[in-house]
């Protein structure tokens, strides 16, 4: 459990001070909160150590819950070079008010080859994995799984929807 002092506590009224804030407090909580532990996975990192990651399924779930299926992902470019597939993708999320949030990022996947050969095992799977990587990077640009992909700078934001009077009353009782 995260220490309360590590949270960036924001009053719901402060959200309205953010110019052109397109997300409501519930959406912000989904997008800017910590990733639940059951969705965090680990794998060996190249060069040693381990990396934490979330699956594409988790990212799609958060996008669906935060934006009510009003999001789209498209591949803008794809390239195969130096033994990897590289995808440039664009995530577009539409808010309830019709505002668009657009993020563009690259994703990549090393091409897996058949043993003893330079022939790809399944280039289609490599394209899909690179596309999912680009989606995850775009989603991280809005804040989804930022505690995983930008851990050094992450500070969980908790939206405080109680009024100051309710907070004082709660502390006194």
Q: Please state, in angstroms and as integers, the Cα–Cα distance from residue 139 to each residue in 16, 30, 41, 45, 124, following that order.
A: 23, 12, 17, 22, 23
Question: Does residue 171 sit within a domain?
Answer: no
The whole-number average pLDDT for the span 73-94 is 97
CB 134 within 8 A of CB 49: no
Question: Does residue 99 sit within a domain?
Answer: yes
* N-term to C-term CA, the chain: 24
Question: Does residue 37 sit within a domain?
Answer: yes
The whole-number average pLDDT for the span 9-35 is 66
Distance of CA 17 to the CA centre of its chain: 24
pLDDT tens per residue across span 108-139: 999 999 999 888 999 999 999 999 999 999 99
* pLDDT of 67 over the 50 cut: yes
Q: How many folded domains does the chain comprise?
A: 1
CB 112 within 8 A of CB 126: yes
Phi-psi region of 32 (alpha: psi -120 to 50; beta: other; left: phi over 0): alpha
Question: Does residue 141 sit within a domain?
Answer: yes
- Domain of residue 20, CATH code: 3.30.390.80
| pLDDT score of 90 | 98
* pLDDT of 12 over the 60 cut: no
Look up the pTM and report it.
0.78
* pLDDT of 5 over the 60 cut: no
Show the domain range for 124. 4-155
């Amino acid at each position: 459990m995260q220490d309360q002092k590590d949270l960036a506590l924001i009053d719901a009224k402060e959200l309205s001070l953010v110019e052109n804030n397109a997300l409501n407090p519930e959406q912000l909580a989904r997008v800017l909160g910590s990733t639940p532990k059951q969705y965090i996975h680990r794998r060996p990192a190249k060069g040693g150590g381990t990396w934490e990651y979330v699956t594409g399924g988790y990212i799609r779930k958060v996008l669906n819950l935060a934006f009510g299926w009003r999001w789209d992902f498209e591949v803008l470019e794809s390239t195969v070079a130096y033994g990897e597939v590289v995808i440039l993708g664009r995530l577009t999320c539409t808010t309830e008010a019709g505002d668009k949030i657009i993020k563009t990022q690259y994703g990549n996947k090393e091409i897996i080859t058949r043993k003893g050969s330079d022939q790809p095992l399944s280039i289609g799977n490599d394209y899909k994995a690179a596309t999912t990587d680009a989606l995850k990077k775009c989603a991280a640009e809005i804040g989804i799984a930022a505690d995983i992909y930008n851990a050094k700078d992450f500070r969980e934001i908790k939206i405080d929807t109680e009024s100051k009077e309710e907070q004082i009353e709660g502390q006194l009782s």
